[in-house]
Structures are given as structure tokens and as C-alpha cells.
Amino acid sequence: MQNSILNQIQSPTELRLLNQKDLPQLAQELREFIINIVATKQGHLGASLGVVELTIALHYVFNTPTDELIWDVGHQAYGHKILTGRKAVFHTNRQINGISGFPKREESEYDAFGVGHSSTSISAALGIAIASQLKGDNKHHIAVIGDASIASGMAFEGLNHAGVTNANLLVILNDNAIGIDPSVGALKQYLTNVKKGTQKQDNIFEALNFNYSGPVDGHNLEALISELNRLKTIKGPKFLHVITTKGKGLKQAEKDQVKYHAPGKFDAITGEIIPKTKSGYTKFQDVFGETIVELAKLNENIVGITPAMPTGSSLKYMMEELPERAFDVGIAEQHAVTLAAGMATQGLIPFCNIYSTFLQRAYDQIIHDVALQKLPVIFCLDRAGLVGEDGATHHGVFDLSYLNCIPNLIVFAPRNEVELRNIMYTAQLGLNKPIAIRYPRGTGNMLNWKLPFKPIEIGKGEQLKQGKNLAVLSVGTIANNIANTIENLEVSHYDMRFVKPLDEELLHDIFKKYSTIITVEDNSVKGGFGSAIIDFAAKYNYKNTIKVKGIPDNFIEHGSVDDLQRLVGLDVNSLKAFFLKFL
């Protein structure tokens, strides 16, 4: 039996001492190590398996960390983490107090730039490369970006600038024709034609003043190392087109690349996914996905839009049933929002489904292109609140704050599946302004949620429980934690539902009845729902005691949602202890 090479690698320094003929064995061991850990600990699988050879070649050829290596998004950086001193702790990946699932500057000197959202690598690497020039440092700067990420506007902006510099920048396109879902758009078709050898037009990257080479087989270590060594000798911006297979080395992951992007637990030997225990409850994304199909069949003006998340948002149901009215626009949140705005000017009813954390990338478009013009775009913000193991880059804990200050915008948080269904129904009946509907990742707790549609009165909250002395106000699904907390407490509970407009009539009643008011939300305490209640109190000169519970004013790391709720004091036990102080 061969001795393990991977066990001898503590850092790329040891890797670079290996004989090149031993690298294929290292690639096999690295793949097996990733598969064995992710099979039980879960995480992103397919992307990292696809770049095993590329990862080894980059650290073998370049003098990292002096040479700066930046992984776009970071889904594909597991091999990088294992080879750069984190093998012994890799089993803690994405768990509370463990290592991050994405490159993170404070975690390792080999993580040149923190990432989590796509299409930032070229701009960051160019910035570092220009800084090196100004400081007189002679080193290499490499950005590894996927074919789905390079179609984003920000990646083009980076390429456009880099092409008129003489920066020592190497952009590597990891071309596997898939992001989380299959890549879309004209650039994807161009890259497909390049691979087939049928692309007749000028090379788009050479036209942007990059020295282009490729396509190269991303699983051929000898070819990769040879080409990377050649590119080290070429000055100015360079572009290497590498063809890889997402999920390489695990048959099922190669075959079903969408499912094995982040498959959950699976059998490391057979590759079969271990079925999760079915709760009988429906994911909020599926409530959205099934409801929009139902509504679209009744209303021919409804269209659906998602930026590269048809599976994650469940817009795929509409894409399957009504393909001409559902649009995956690729990783292009800004375009998605303004596309929806354009459609709305023509009487269409666009449901623009974007993860809460990704809508941040289109903030200017929400303000200028939608709200300023009072266009009735319906924003459906999936993954709002704490999302769990993806951590700080993915938590949707700022949306109530960044949306609340925008004029002409309705902001609603359903506490359950029926409320989500009914607000979607209400929105498509016709509003004279845009609405943002935010809901969490994961399931609700209703078995029978497909009830007949009922309109929701805009700006109206409701009382859920009557108590004495103390009133708790909440928005969204955190109401479930509160209900469990106050079951045996003399506490009143109100679901305000709308953060904007607030139900001022109900609030006046609450402020007159209760001396102490506690607000609870799974959003930042800065500028969110609680802040809106404090603003109301100040506006009308109320002197009640108001306490705000939510996400504290710091970035929350990764861990299960239950762990993170305990960490920030939003779990049932923490809330109970907090409420009892005021009873």
C-alpha cells in the first residue's frame, strides 16, 4: 500500500518539494479526504472536487502566500484549505467555532481575500496587483472564477479595468458550465462554442487586452503546471481558460451536479445521499414556488425572475410549468431588479425572488429604478434571518434595516406559510408601489397551508395572545419562538406583520395599555423593526420602557440556526429569561 502523501503536507512548502509524478496520487488522496469529511459533516462538495488538480497546480507553481491566490465565491476552496494547514481542523468546517466554509482573511495568511458572494475576485486581485506595483513588490496575483460568476456585471467591470493596466494579474476561468444551477446566457454559449472549437468570432478576452490561453484540461496536472509556468513569464493581464467537471471523482456528483453542489450527508463509498427525516412540513421556498405557479395560472401578467437561484428559490417549478414567463438571469442581481422594473412599466407583475443577502448587491436599483418610480415590483426575499452554516456572508439579517429607510416601499414578514401565500396573492391583485416580502430558509410548521386565498390589509398587525403588563411585538417567523416562550407567561404577543407601514392604530392601543414593550426580530437591532417602534414612540412622545431584541451589532459567524439563536439570545430559553426580567 502506498504511503499517504497528503499526511506529509502541512503547507504548500511541503507540496512544492514533491516530485511532479507524485501529484496525481496526491490529487486522489485529496479528493477522498474531501469526500469522506463532507459525507458526514456536510458542506459544498461538487465545486471543490472539480478543482482538485487546479488547486494542487496553483500551489505547486506559485509561491503562495507571497503570491496572492483569490478564489471567487469560495465554494471550491476546500482543497485549498486542506493544503494550507487546515487539514487537522477541516472536520469543523461550517460548524460553530470551527473553520469557515469560505476563504477568510483572519483564518489564514493563504486566504488573500474574504469571499462568499460571487464575482468579486477579479476586482480584488487587480486591487492587490496595483498595490504591489505601487509598493515595488514583484509577485503574482491569481483570481480563480467560475463561468457562472464571470457573467456577472462586476466581473466584467474588473476585466474592463484590468485590460488597460499592466498589472501582473492572472485570471483563471474555471469553466464547468454550472454554478449552483446550470449557467445561463450568451457568454455561457460563447464558452461552450470555444470548448467545441466552433466559435468563429474574435476572442472576447483578447478583445479586452488579456493574453488568452486555453482551453486546458483542468484535470491534467502536467498540462496545467506547464501552462502556469509559462504564464509566470508573461507580463501584464493574462487569462487562462480551464475546463473542469464539477463533482469530479464521485460518479453521482458528476451526474447530478445541482444536487451534489451541497448534498447534505451521503455515503462516502457509494455516493448515495442519506435521506433526511421528513418532518411533513414544507420549506418556505417551496410555498413560494408552488404559490407563484398557482397564481400565475390565474393571472397571465405574473412573471418570475431569479438571479441564478431557480432551485434554491424554487422558481424552478414555474420554469418547468410556464417556462416563457420565468427567467433565470444569471448572477446579476442589479439586472434582475431593473429588468423587473422595466416589466412593471408595461403592466406585468414581476415576482423578483432574491436571497436577502444577495439583494444587498442591488440596493441602488431598488431605490432608483423601483421605489423612486413607484413601480409595483414584488420582491420575495428568501433566506432572511440567520441562515446557519454559510455564515456571515449569507445571513439575511440586514434587510429590514436597509429596506425600512426607502420611501414608497412596503415591507412585510409573514409568520407562517399561509401568511406568505396570502401576501403573494394580495400583492398580485395590484399595489401602487413595490413590496418586499422576507421569509426564512427551511420549513414552517403548518401541515395544511394550502388554504383558499385571502387578501391581507396593508399595514395591519394582529394580536396573537392576551396577557398583562408586558407586550411583546414581533415580525416574521420568530413569532414561533415567542409563542413557545410565553405559553405559560402572562404576556401579550402582537404580530405586527408590516415593518412598513406600521400599524399605528394598533401601536397607540399597545402603548396606552402596557408600560413595558419588547420587540423581537431576526434582523439587526440597528435600524430594523425595533428601531421603527422606538421612532414611533419618539414621534408621539410615549415614555414607555422599550427593549429591542434582535441580531447584535456585529457579524454573526457560521453554525446551525439553533446554535446561532442561542448565541444571540433568540432561542426559547434565552427569550424566557429576558422576558421574566420585566414581569
Strand partners, 468: none
Task: Respond yes or no: is residue 419 known to be catalytic.
Answer: no
Amino acid occupying residue 65 = P
Any binding-site annotation on 399? no
Any binding-site annotation on 152? no
Of all helices (H) and strands (E), which one includes residue 305? strand 302-306
Task: Respond yes or no: is residue 254 known to be catalytic.
Answer: no
Edge-first strand order for the sheet with 435-440 is 326-328, 302-306, 349-355, 378-384, 435-440, 410-412, 498-500
Any binding-site annotation on 116? yes
Q: How far is Cα 41 from Cα 13, in angstroms, rounded to an integer? A: 28
Q: How far is Cα 83 from Cα 57, in angstroms, rounded to an integer? A: 12
| Catalytically annotated residue among 238, 246, 283, 438 | 246
Which residues contact residue 490 at a Cβ distance below 8 angstroms, ignoring those fewer than 6 apart? 467, 468, 469, 470, 583
- Sign of the alpha-carbon torsion through 529, 530, 535, 537: positive
Of all helices (H) and strands (E), which one includes residue 71? strand 68-71
Q: Please calculate the CA angle 257-263-266 and round it to the nearest 5 degrees.
A: 115
Q: How far is Cα 186 from Cα 289, in angstroms, rounded to an integer? A: 26
Of all helices (H) and strands (E), which one includes residue 548? strand 545-551
Cis peptide before 440 (omega within 30 of 0): no
Any binding-site annotation on 93? no
Any binding-site annotation on 147? yes
Any binding-site annotation on 290? no
Task: Respond yes or no: is residue 457 known to be catalytic.
Answer: no
| Catalytically annotated residue among 29, 227, 333, 389 | 333
Cis peptide before 215 (omega within 30 of 0): yes
What CA–CA distances, in Å, run from 530 to 86, 424, 473?
A: 40, 25, 9
Cis peptide before 65 (omega within 30 of 0): yes
Q: How far is Cα 583 from Cα 578, in angstroms, rounded to an integer? A: 10
Any binding-site annotation on 395? no
| Catalytically annotated residue among 94, 361, 441, 497 | 361
Any binding-site annotation on 436? no
Any binding-site annotation on 100? no
Per the annotation, binding residues for thiamine diphosphate are 75, 116-118, 148-149, 176, 333
Q: Which residues are marked as active site?
A: 246, 333, 361
Per the annotation, binding residues for Mg(2+) are 147, 176
